[in-house]
Amino acid sequence: MIVAISLNNSNSTATTISTVTYNTTSNLTRIGFQVNSNRRLEYWSLANAPAVTANVVITPTAMANGRVVGTVAGVITFTGVDSNTPVGTPTFATGNNNTPAVTIASNPNQLVLGTVSTSGNITISSVGGSETQQWNLNSGTAGSDSRGLGTTATGATSVALSETLSAASQWTIGALPILGPATGNLCATPGKDGVGTVAGVVNAYYAPSTNVVLAPGAASVTLAAGVGANTNITAGDLLLIMQMQDASINSSNDQTYGAGTGTAGVLTGPGSGYTSLPTITITPTDGQGSGATAIVNDLTVGSISAGSGIGSRTW
């Protein structure tokens, strides 16, 4: 559960939020805040919130006597998040114009919660094209009132949130990453290589730079120069480590087919059709051979049309 609170504390500049509770006993934790002049924005969170209908109670502190502090709060819950770290660190920006904007690093296994705090007499003319509006509320239209906007956007390497206000005003905007399961955060980026028609060798191939034994859980290996398609490995690529076993086969259509040393009709030993598979030795070889190991950088696309001559390198 996330509670995003937009404050206009122009009448009581020291006012902040002291506590947020849910279902009378569950205390939320403040995970970030930012203030621009008197437009304050706070994020509070509660992991594994009980699935009951109950009140969220927000308690301010340092309220000046008789002063009004415009407040808008949005409450939103997410499922399928990382059980250990459900939210990341928020990023904030501030300004005094009609175009609140902020950019945050993210990834495709995340969502981004965006929130704006501005004056209650300002309306939101539009939200960014990648965003879905979750709430757009004001506490009133007086100068001391607050308007709060909440949006969500799908995660990517970089997520830009941008809104348009009806007029220039002081604003604070925040972006909070909602984290997916840890295993998902480590996956390749789906569709990273875009769309289009492919032909020829579409993957890139690398051999280890030296003989290597990878221990269970190893997370790195040093590679030699790559061959095949695009040979640059970048963040989000899908990599496969493969060890292959093959054999040199005599394809002559006679008694020497296979190992090349047989005699037709023998009852024991290498005869017709006999093939010798040598002992596996892990070697840093780009080419045919017993135990040759390759690291394959696979093409990952969102949509694809097959051209002619699609194939792979030998290793």
Tens of pLDDT, residue by residue over 206-245, are 888 887 777 776 778 888 888 887 767 877 777 777 766 6
Residue 2 has pLDDT above 60, yes or no: yes
Quick one: which H or E segment has residue 185? helix 182-185
- pLDDT at 309 exceeding the cut of 70: no
- Per-residue burial over 42-70, b = 16 or more CB atoms within 10 Å of its CB, e = otherwise: bbbbbeebeeeeeebebebeeeeeeebbb
- Per-residue exposure over 144-169, b if at least 16 CB sit within 10 Å of its own CB, e if not: bbbbbbbbbbebbeebbbbbebeeeb
Q: Write the pLDDT tens digit of every residue in 93-113.
A: 999 999 999 999 988 888 999
- pLDDT, one tens digit per residue, over 154-182 is 998 899 999 999 999 999 999 999 998 76
- 73 or 220, greater pLDDT: 73
C-beta neighbour count of 15 within 10 angstroms: 21
Classify residue 298 by burial, with Cβ atoms within 10 Å: 0-12, 13-18, 19+: middle
pLDDT > 60? residue 47? yes
Residue 277 has pLDDT above 70, yes or no: no
Q: What is the pTM of this model?
A: 0.61
Average pLDDT over residues 42-67: 92
> How much is the pLDDT for 315?
53
Q: pLDDT value at position 170?
A: 95
CB–CB of 76/28 below 8 Å?
A: no
Whether the CB-CB separation of 20 and 59 falls below 8 Å is answered with: yes
Give, rounded to a whole angstrom, the gap between the first and last alpha carbons of the chain.
Answer: 51
Give the count of beta carbons closer than 10 Å to the beta carbon of residue 277.
10
Q: Report the alpha-carbon distance of residue 74 to residue 124 in Å, rounded.
A: 16
